Amino acid sequence: MEGATDDAVDATDDRPVDDPAPDAPGPDGTPPAADGGDETAGWYGVRCVFRWTRPSTYEERVTLWEAESLDDAIAKAESEAQRYASRLNSEFLDIAQAYWIGADRPSAGSEVFSLMRDSTLDADDYLDAFYDTGRERQRTSD
């Protein structure tokens, strides 16, 4: 993790946060390099984006896939996204972003998607711009 201090540690093991597990996804969510890069079988989280017309709403949806490669996971997710959009009268916007979860079946607490975005905004402005615009349809907890 960029900017992590030397003494920062991941709660799941004793490795510093900036020294990820050998089989951890890269910073772009791709599998660890292995004789050709993205041909790693395992589990993937894939985020697809949809547009609803009434009311004008955008939806980000993450689905879980067991696949032979990153390309295979994206193909499976795009196929399902087309069916989802058709069934619910929305439009799939032809964007699918995949994140390699790992070779083992995910369990409770597994990270299923991560996206890192560089920004010069301070934390409050960043959250307001991308996550808390006031127009989200979400349930909040007390």
Which residues, other chains included, contact 64 with Cβ-Cβ below 8 Å and sequence gap of 6+?
Answer: 43, 44, 45, 101, 106, 112
Q: Which two tokens stand for residue 8?
A: 């920062």
Task: Tell me the C-alpha to C-alpha distance, in Å, between residue 89 and each of 50, 55, 58, 129.
Answer: 10, 12, 13, 28
Can you give the pLDDT at residue 9? Answer: 35
Q: Is residue 40 in some structural domain?
A: yes
The total of structural domains in the chain comes to: 1
Instruction: For residue 114, count other CB atoms closer than 10 A to its CB.
Output: 13
Q: Note if the pTM is more than 0.85.
A: no
Give a three-class secondary structure readout of 39-76: CCCEEEEEEEEEEECCCCEEEEEEEEEEECCHHHHHHH
Q: Is residue 100 in some structural domain?
A: yes
Can you give the pLDDT at residue 55? Answer: 80
Q: Is residue 74 in some structural domain?
A: yes
Q: Is residue 11 in some structural domain?
A: no
Domain extent, residue 89, equals 21-105
Residue stretches of the chain with pLDDT short of 70:
1-38
Can you give the pLDDT at residue 56? Answer: 85
Can you give the pLDDT at residue 59? Answer: 92
